[in-house]
Amino acid sequence: MFWSLNQFLECTNPKEDMKTCSLSDALFRKDEDDDDDVKQWDMEGINDLLGRRKELQIILTEKIGQVLQIATLTPRKSLHNKNENQPEKIIVGNTHLYYHPKADHIRAIQAYIACKEIDKCRRRDGAVPYPFIFGGDLNSDPLSGAAQLLLTRSLLPTHHDCWKYLEEFTYQDDHGGNDDEPRPTKNNSVEIDKCSADLPSLHLPPSFPHMLSGCGIPKFTNFASGFVETLDYILCSKVSQTEFFGFERNDSVPMPVAEDILKYSPALPNECMPSDHVSIVCDLDWKIYDHASTC
């Protein structure tokens, strides 16, 4: 992550303000935080699932190497004008979730843990919770479990596109795998199976703000042979009665269309676009909760 020192103060406490944490470590760590809002993060369903499925526990402890970076930034202007309508600090989180096409359930758990870790950082000073931006390659299309959790705040056991490979995906499936393997075909018509009662319901707690996408939902951010999908996101927290500060979308860079890519090659990367993912760029504005508008 990069930020402008013209806009934000230089970090003087990197141990606290620039964190990199393993998503696996965060998942299995026992929290002893007394903050009532942090305690609203319900890990019981996930812990029960891991207790019943040792193979999943092995994958998460021995195969998953993804990390979450979190930076706490102090806008310079807040030092000169304490009454200006912007927060004292903002949180920026960045991650790259697990890649395997049969691991939607793992990415959903990772997304939940990432939000939990961001929430801890934005509450650490005990004042008004800081707004946040959360982005990265989530390896998750808009209908996936992880994206649905982040955008709609809930993921139910009946979301079979998320949990359909829970029993099938094993440690051996990932050994020597590669990111070019075709993604599984979506199937929303699967009936509730006999194990759905054992699956967790994941919900972002009321104390955690709603999020919006700074770039909307593009038609695609990844263009590979046989697979074209949106996998990358820039999300930001919204204001509400309980969230005094937040962001709103101002603008975003236009995305290419398929014809722009097919001019040069059947897939990315090509001579004009050096990655298999398309960059997403957006402008966000500060937003402050307007009590008058709700009266």
CA–CA distance, 90 with 291 (Å, rounded to integer) = 21
* Stretch among 53-62, 129-138, 194-203, 269-278 having the lowest mean pLDDT: 194-203
pLDDT band at 292 (very low <50, low <70, confident <90, very high): very low
CA–CA distance, 277 with 229 (Å, rounded to integer) = 10
Residue 127's pLDDT is: 76
What average pLDDT does this structure show over 131-160? Answer: 95
The answer to whether 65 and 36 are in contact (CB under 8 A) is no
Catalogue the E-assigned strands of 54-210: 67-73, 90-96, 132-137, 154-155, 202-203
What's the pLDDT tens digit per position in 12-53? 888 889 999 999 999 998 876 666 777 899 999 999 999 999
CA–CA distance, 165 with 72 (Å, rounded to integer) = 36
Residue 47's pLDDT is: 94
pLDDT above 90 covers what percent of the chain? 68
Pairs from 289-294 (Cβ < 8 Å, separation ≥ 24): 289/239, 289/240, 289/241, 289/243, 289/244, 289/245, 289/246, 294/241
Q: Between the CA of residue 250 and those of 88, 115, 135, 264, 284, what are the distances in Å?
A: 21, 24, 17, 32, 5
What average pLDDT does this structure show over 126-144? Answer: 94
What is the distance between the terminal CA atoms of the chain, rounded to a whole angstrom?
A: 40
What average pLDDT does this structure show over 249-277? Answer: 94
Residue 61's pLDDT is: 86
CA–CA distance, 231 with 3 (Å, rounded to integer) = 23
Residue 129's pLDDT is: 93
CATH number at 14-294: 3.60.10.10
> Domain-by-domain residue ranges, the chain?
14-294
Residue 9's pLDDT is: 92
CA–CA distance, 97 with 103 (Å, rounded to integer) = 10
Residue 125's pLDDT is: 86
Neighbouring residues of 272: CB distance < 8 A, sequence distance ≥ 6: 264
Side chain identity, residue 43: M
What's the pLDDT tens digit per position in 65-115? 899 999 999 998 755 555 567 788 999 999 999 999 999 999 999 999 999
260 phi and psi, to 5 degrees? -65, -35
Provide the CA 106 distance to its chain's centre, in angstroms. Answer: 13
Residue 39's pLDDT is: 81
- Give the H or E element holding residue 47: helix 44-52
What's the pLDDT tens digit per position in 174-228? 655 444 443 444 443 334 344 566 899 999 999 999 999 999 999 999 999 999 9
- Whether 138 shows a pLDDT value over 60: the answer reads yes
Residue 81's pLDDT is: 55
Copy the structure tokens of residue 278.
């398309």
